[in-house]
Structure 1
Amino acid sequence: MFDMFGMTVSFFLFIFFFGFGIIGTLFWLWMLIDCATKEPSEGNDKLIWIIIIVFTHVLGALVYFVIRRPKRIQDYGK
């Protein structure tokens, strides 16, 4: 028989995870652009952070957002 409830739950789960994936990718892209354009080019910090963000996707972007970005804003003001 046709299970309407199961289809509804599956649809909402699909929408939830699809939305989470889109939001995560946009956040990753924002942190990658932020690091590439605003991180000072002194030493290898910029290159290392870009590599971390690229290869660890959302997790690396979140680590950059929580750890490095506030310190950079405090030190350099941007």
Structure 2
Amino acid sequence: MDVQVGGLLGLIWLAIIIWAIVKCAQSNAGTGAKVLWILLLLLMPVLGLILWLLLGPKG
């Protein structure tokens, strides 16, 4: 049962990260900023997501 719960949580986390990357790519920010945010989200998913939610490009 623990493996299934961990797998489900991992899948949900992956979906959240993918959503954040897509939103970042669709934002009005410059290309350099988009690349840096996406790299941050890929290399440090937890910290990157928190920073992106707080400081990332809006709209």
Question: How many angstroms does 1:39 deviate by?
Answer: 4.1
Instruction: In structure 2, list runs of 5 or more residues that go unmatched.
Output: none
Structure 1: 4+ residue segments shifted above 3 A: none
Aligned to 2:55: 68
1:32-78 CA distances to partner (integer Å, 9 max, x unpaired)? 11111114117x3222111101211243123212x124xx43xxxx2
| Pairwise CA RMSD | 1.9
Aligned residues: 59
Instruction: In structure 1, list runs of 5 or more residues that go unmatched.
Output: 1-10
Structure whose alpha-carbon radius of gyration is higher: 1
From the superposition, tell whether residues 19 and 39 of structure 1 become closer, same or farther in structure 2 (CA, over 3 Å).
farther
Q: Distance in 1 between matches of 2:28 and 2:44?
A: 18
TM-score w.r.t. structure 2 length? Answer: 0.76
Aligned to 1:36: 25
Task: Compare relative contact order (CA 8 Å, sep 6+) and give the higher one, 1 or 2.
Answer: 2
Aligned to 1:47: 35
Q: Percent identity?
A: 19
